[in-house]
Structures are given as C-alpha cells and as structure tokens.
Amino acid sequence: MTSNKCPDKIQVALATASPRRRALIQKIDCISPVFITTNAVETIKCGAQETAIANAFIKGECAAQMTDLPVLAFDTVVGLGDEVFGKPHDRASAIAMFKALCGKTHEVVTAVYFRVNGKIIQKSEKTLVTFGAFNEQLVYNYVDSGAPYDKAGGYNIDDAEIKPLIERVEGDYYNVVGLPVGLTEKLIEENLLNGEDGYSA
C-alpha cells in the first residue's frame, strides 16, 4: 500500500509475540500495530490448513477480549501429506521433523484472522517448500542452536544456517516466515480502508 492511500495510520491489534511477524507487519504502511500477547492454547486438526485456521481463530478471539481495536492474528503450520508439523517440543522431535521433511516438498500454510467491528474474516495462504537430502551436521547444529523450538516445522526460512537445505520455494516467501504480507494488505484494504466500517483513511 502506498502512503498516499493512507495519510493517517489506523491502529490495529496484532495478536502475536513472534519477532518475525512483528517485523513483517511493518511492511504494511496503512496501519500502526499494537502488539498483544495472548495465552491461547493451540490445537491440531486434520490437515495443515484446518489447523492453521483454527489456531488463528483461537488467538484472535483471545486478543479480541483484550481490546476494542481491529484484531489481526496468524498461525503458521507445516504440512506433509496428512501429517501436521507444529513447533517441536524437544531435540528429538525437531530432528524427526527434519528427517520427515528432507528430500520432499512440504506445504507451509499461514491462516489470517481479521476482526473489524465484530465481523470476522478468515483466509489462508499456502507456499510450497522443497528441502534437499538430510544433512546430519547441518541439522544437528541448527537444532542444537535452539532455533527450531518456536517455529512451525522447526525452522525459520530466514535463518542463514538452514538456507543450504532449501532447494525451492513456490509461492509467497513471507508466508513461510509467518505473515503473508500481500494477503494481509488485501484484507486490510478491503475491510478496513473502504469506509464500510467507519475506519476510512
């Protein structure tokens, strides 16, 4: 969004503690984010998209109880076939995730929850990521650094240590980081800046 569309920024609550999402939301010019950390308990459904949508809703609804501002919430899940990969809880589970994902193409789904004046909009973005063959030294070093434990699928695509493992990314790169910037901009423009809900800039 260009600045001439939004001379006055609109405050929006962003329900996340993720430093990656907090950085990416700054790419959207028309809003001024107010960060809220929730104690939402995440769930796992049948499928990556279903899980991401359910968790984004849980986070968003928790945040909506804490503010009258429009609320954005996100959840990112890695899926491979019918298997859903959230955040690893220990070293063994992190290594197991890499062993499952290496040599294959997996999907990264980020769901967006957007609440404006009681209206809830939910959308999702999917990106395909292909890993090369399992590299024991690379994976073990990455896991032992502690990096995987707050990340869906056990990795952050921006981490330099993991980049040699990534062969191909098909779709929105930012979606893999955790916030689909293009989709989020579109939802804000259609539902917050069009004047229908009294927030027109």
pLDDT at residue number 5: 55
In the structure, what pLDDT confidence band is assigned to residue 198 with cuts at 50, 70 and 90? very low
Q: For position 43, what pLDDT does the model report?
A: 86
Q: Report the catalytic residues.
A: 75
Residue type at 170 in one-letter notation = E
Q: Does residue 190 surpass a pLDDT of 80?
A: yes
Burial of 92 (0-12, 13-18, 19+ CB in 10 A): exposed
pTM for this model (two decimals): 0.89
Q: Which of 90, 151, 114 is nearest to 15 (CA)?
A: 114
Alpha carbon 33 to its chain's center: 16
pLDDT, one tens digit per residue, over 118-134 is 899 999 999 999 999 99
